[in-house]
Every structure is written in C-alpha cells, then in structure tokens.
Structure 1
Amino acid sequence: MKIVVISECKAREMIVVNRILQFQPRAVVVQPSFAKKRKKRSFGDLATRLLAKLRYRALKRNLAVVDDGSSGILNKVTFDSKMLNSPEGIEFLKRLSPDLLITCRAPLLSQEVTQIPKLATVNVHYGIAPEYRGNDTLFWALYEKNYEKVGGTIHHISQGVDTGNILAKVYPALVPGDDETSIDIKTSQLLADTLYQYLEEISQARQPIRGVTQQHKGKNYRATDRTPAKSLKMQFRNLLGNSSIPSQEQKVETFFEQESISIFA
C-alpha cells in the first residue's frame, strides 16, 4: 500500500510520522516549507511567539530530542506550502500515486488534492472533533476544564475544518500534575498507535472505511483566539495547583467497522 504523509514534522507530530514509517518504511513524507514573513513587532505578537517557543522547547525537552527527528526519513520531500493546491502540486501528488494520504499538522488541502488517493485522505487532529476543531484544541479543552474532551481524533478530510467522518477518538490517561506538554505527548502516542491499527485494518480491507459522520458542528478555534493572556493564565493556574486535572483512564474509540470498539487500558 502506497502511503503519502503531509506533515510539518515538528517534534510532536514526528511521534505519529515515525509510527507510520514503522508500518510502511517507504512511505513518502512531504514536508511543507513556508516563506519567511516579516514579523509583527507589537508587544502581543512578540509575547505570542515567545510563549510558543517556550512551549516547543518544553515539548522537545520532555521528548529528549535534539532535533525533530525528520532528518532520518528515507523518502522525504520538501514542497512549498503555497503550491500544494496548485496545478503543480496536484500533479506532483498524482505522480506519487498514493493509496492513502495522511496529514498531521499540514496546510488545508483542496478537494482536488483530497480526491487523489485511491482509498482515503485522513487527518490526525489534536483535539476531540467536532467539539474542538481548528487550532490549539488540546489547550482549549484544558483551559475550559472540559477534561472529558481532552484527546485527539483521526478523521477523513472533507471541505471544512476537521469536519470529515470520524475513524477514531483517543483520550489519554490524565493524572493530577499533568500539563499541556505531558498531555500533548500522551495524545501523540495514543494517536500514533491507533493510526497504526487503522493502517492494518485498511491494508487488509483494501477498500475505503467509512467511519461515522459528525453529528454537529462544534466550535472552530482560530490561532489568534489563543492570546498571551490566556496562555499565561493557564500556566499560573498550573503553578498554583489550581488546574484540578482529575484522574481519568485512557480510552480509545475506533470506528473502523460498522460497530464502534471501545478499548480501556
């Protein structure tokens, strides 16, 4: 089965990408490149970038990685992010002739791109859809103390933001003392393992797996919704021990067949 992955290959996402490569070592990984933009110099923009860098450093430190780990990928191609949906990008992806296209932290794709694979185009989303769609959705579930909706979703890509049929939902184990970084890592590992199960299932079926439709729209969070004030409020809440994260068991719901399967560990 030919697999193409589109991912920025950041430290968190490499947990998922590496699991895909364990299943199919010759999968092609397309890493979008982004032109450098002139950075805004307002206090709010500087604070946002600083907090983002600190979060990423904490993530890499907890993963004990020096780089993002993408340098060892056998078949990695860098491609201009703005060109992915262009005629050149579409032709490039068609030449790869994927059975399955998987995205994990990737630009929004056009319908023409998502229809290229023979079997499906699937997204790995950090957040429980449809309640939490868009950006920073693990953060928003924690910020709102909606702990039962902390987790990730594997879903088909449709012409919307995280709105396609759901193939799986994962909920990491939570313990008091967890924070956004530890939950990021737990969710990544659980998404990676569950995606591996899906790859095994679809490789045997050799036909599309429908999943289940999303019953309501939920909320689409924008990157700009997460202000420095909200990020700092979360950090102070953790420092003061007021996050009140309850102990919850790990849970995985898969919709690889007509009946859903719940796995508790």
Structure 2
Amino acid sequence: MKSLRIAVLVSPDPSDIYFANKIMEAIDVEVVFVETKFREENNLQRYLKFFKALFNPVKVITKLRDSRLRKQLDHRSGTIAAEGFGDAGKQIFPKNGTTVIYTDGPKDLNSSINVARLKAFKVDLIVCCGCSILNNSVISIPRLGVLNLHGGLSQRYRGILPILFSINNNEPEYIGLTVHYVRQGIDDGEVIYQARPVICLDDNPESIYIKIVKLGIENMLQAIADIAYGKIKSYKLIEKGKLYTAKMATAEVIAKAWEGSELVIASYLANKDEQDKEVLMMLNKHYSTDSIST
C-alpha cells in the first residue's frame, strides 16, 4: 500500500479500542486519539444535581431504576465483548512509534487544542469508530477526507445502537455496517462499502456487534487501500435512514432488544430468503452508476 499519514479517532469502548489496534496492526498510523466519554463533575455541579433531586423524587427513583437495569445489561454485554475482542479491546498497543493522545472529555476532539494537535501531524486521512460528531474544523484537516465505520446500514438506520433498534423493529435483515465519508450530518456521508454479517441462531445483540466490528475493519482497510491507490469509489446516500439518538436508547429499549433477540433471529432465519429481498433491492438500487460521487 502506498504510504499515507493516517490518524485514528475512537472512543474508549472495547470495540473501538479493538478497531484502533487492528488498524495499527495492518498499516502504519501516525496518531490515535481516544476520546474520553465523561467529563468529571466539579463540586458545584454535584450540589446542583442534589438540590434538583430534592424537588423531583419521582425522577430520581426512575433514574435509579434505569441505572440498575443498565448496569445489568452492561455487565451481560461486557462479558461477551471481553471474550470477543480479547486483549486488543482492553488497551491501545501502539505500533511503529504511533502517538496516542487521550482527550479531557466528550466532544473534546473539536477543541482548539486537539484541532491544533491533529494539524501538527499533517495527516492525509482520518478514520473514525465510535467518536462523537466532528466539526468542520476537524473534517477539513486531512486532504483525503475523514472515514467512519457506522454499525448500521445508513439507508435504514443512522445514529446510535442500530442493531438493537433493528431487532426491536423486527428488521434483523437490516443489520449491517457502512464505511462512509464524514460530512456535517450524522451517518449521511457518501458510502464507500457496506456489508451484512452472517447471523446465527445462537447470536445475541453483542455477538452480532462483534461480527459487525470485525467485518467493518476489513471493509475500512479496503477503503484505505482504495484511497491510497487512487481507486476509491463512493456513492451518494440516496435514502437517509431514520436517525436514532442517545435519548431514544433507554434502558427499557436495550432490555427489550436483548429479551426479544432470540425469537426475532429465529423467525428471520426461518424466513431469510423472503425477508432479505427488500434489503437486497435497497442495496442494489443504491449502488447504481447514477449515484457514484467520486
């Protein structure tokens, strides 16, 4: 592969750490930014939360219940993820002198400090997995653009947790991934590659996600190679899927997907050929010569 100066931007989730490590194993990377998920609260913020809670005890009880449920679900999925991603999902293992930078908080990749840091590496290409929405100050840095791995088919599902929402909507046939250019919208840039994992009877939301990440890394590396050799093709997103936000991903929604996944998957596999028709038609329509943008 022709040499490119590449930056990788990820969250600290095991899947995204795994993504960064596997990209570094395959190609040289100048810098990896790991975006911290939560900013530590100061004492004033804690006191304000406490006094607000005094005047809304029902909301506090609801939050505590949701928190307990979410912890149970996180433990369940975390155990599966730890096995699926192994040591490569636990920490960054820099290769060939790669610099690793940890941000101070969420959305901090867009800060003037980190924008300046990124510019200093003079990267040709940025690849992302799991980081927050990037401003134009970051998107405009690399001459060859910014690529993202989205864990859904963007024509149907954009935003957060597409696998879970696909299951809850009884649409497991729309489970897939998209490697796309990053624009100012959310998961709506030009599509480079898409793929769908093989779903098995014993799968669950987390095991499917592990398949998505590993398949997505293969597709991302192919996209990087295509760019390096000047053979890249991308396609305008003709249909924009529904955008699912963090507010929609409640503990109840996540629990429903886990509870219902076995039945949904079994029903899908029993009628796979019929259920796949619509999604295959959608993909064939999308990759027409009329939609080629680069």
TM-score by length of 2: 0.76
Tell me the CA shift for residue 196 of structure 1.
1.2
Cα distance in structure 2, aligned partners of 1:162 and 1:242: 26
Shift in CA distance, 73/52, structure 1 to aligned 2, threshold 3 Å: same
Cα distance in structure 1, aligned partners of 2:288 and 2:204: 34
Tell me the CA shift for residue 256 of structure 1.
11
Match of 1:122 in 2: 147
1:89 counterpart = 2:93: no
Tell me the CA shift for residue 122 of structure 1.
0.8
Paired amino acid for 2:239 = H
Cα distance in structure 2, aligned partners of 1:150 and 1:98: 32
Match of 2:222 in 1: 197
Identity of aligned residues (%): 23
Shift in CA distance, 36/147, structure 1 to aligned 2, threshold 3 Å: same
1:17 counterpart = 2:20: yes
Match of 2:247 in 1: 224
1:149 counterpart = 2:171: no
Match of 2:213 in 1: 188
Match of 2:55 in 1: none
Please identify, of 82-91 and 119-128, the stretch whose mean Cα deviation from structure 2 is larger.
82-91
Paired amino acid for 1:79 = T
User: Structure 2 stretches of 5 or more lacking a match?
Assistant: 50-59, 274-278
Higher strand residue share: 1
Out of 260, 269, 273, the position equivalent to 1:246 is 269
Match of 1:36 in 2: 40
Tell me the CA shift for residue 224 of structure 1.
2.3
Show CA shifts across 1:11-46 (max 9, x none). Answer: 222343233213323431111123135697532233
Show CA shifts across 1:75-105 (max 9, x none). Answer: 2111224432122222111101110001100
Cα distance in structure 2, aligned partners of 1:183 and 1:87: 37
Tell me the CA shift for residue 201 of structure 1.
1.3
Cα distance in structure 1, aligned partners of 2:69 and 2:19: 29
Paired amino acid for 2:94 = I
Cα distance in structure 1, aligned partners of 2:287 and 2:28: 23
Greater Rg by CA: 2
Cα distance in structure 1, aligned partners of 2:14 and 2:164: 17
Tell me the CA shift for residue 9 of structure 1.
4.0
Tell me the CA shift for residue 259 of structure 1.
9.3
Q: Is the 8 A contact 2:30 2:121 kept in 1?
A: no
User: Structure 1 stretches of 5 or more lacking a match?
Assistant: 261-265
Match of 1:158 in 2: 183
Cα distance in structure 1, aligned partners of 2:21 and 2:287: 22
Higher helix residue share: 2
State the aligned residue count. 256
Match of 1:77 in 2: 101
